[in-house]
């Protein structure tokens, strides 16, 4: 934790450089055992991919090296991770997250995801995005087949 400031400053630097290049002010660094494995800036402006957040890009890059589990890894992000990025961090097993700017700091600039966090706090049936469950009779067998293939591993 003694290097948190160092790695967070690198994420902020990536964000500043991205703004200079026409992008959004977000950068991220993924570190394992005090070694940077990946760093990235948001590339939505280049790719037109709304999932091209800096945090997801470092997760993707590190996963190419380590596999789908990023245990013992820390992500340093210039801004508070959005729900999509935070979910990916949980799913990949990231150990810790350190971020610079809060949603409250980003809000006056249109850079807050607080509204999405608020939506996700509601039951699915009460969220503004219509989500419909349409039961599929064969899905449980597919899940059983998957479980049988992955038992013990």
Closest Cα to residue 7, out of 39, 44, 47?
A: 39
* Options 55, 114, 126, 140, the catalytic residue: 55
| Residue 29 main-chain phi, psi, to 5 deg | -130, 135
Active site residue 39: no
Q: Are 31 and 37 in contact (CB under 8 A)?
A: yes
Residue 113 to residue 95: CA distance in whole angstroms: 22
Report how far Cα 62 is from the mean position of its chain's Cα atoms. 12
Residue 14 to residue 20: CA distance in whole angstroms: 10
- Residues forming the active site: 55
């Amino acid at each position: 934790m003694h290097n948190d400031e160092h790695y967070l400053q690198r994420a902020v630097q990536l964000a500043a450089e991205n703004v200079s290049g026409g992008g959004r002010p977000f950068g991220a660094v993924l570190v394992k055992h005090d070694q940077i494995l990946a760093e990235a800036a948001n590339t939505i402006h280049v790719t037109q991919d709304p999932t091209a957040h800096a945090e997801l890009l470092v997760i993707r890059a590190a996963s190419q090296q380590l596999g789908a589990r990023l245990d013992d890894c820390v992500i340093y992000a210039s801004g508070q991770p959005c729900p999509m990025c935070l979910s990916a961090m949980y799913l990949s097993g990231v150990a810790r997250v350190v971020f610079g700017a809060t949603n409250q700091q980003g809000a006056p600039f249109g850079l807050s995801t607080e509204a999405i966090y608020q939506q996700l706090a509601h039951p699915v049936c009460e969220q503004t995005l219509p989500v419909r469950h349409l039961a599929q009779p064969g899905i449980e067998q597919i899940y059983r087949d998957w479980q049988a293939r992955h038992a013990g591993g």
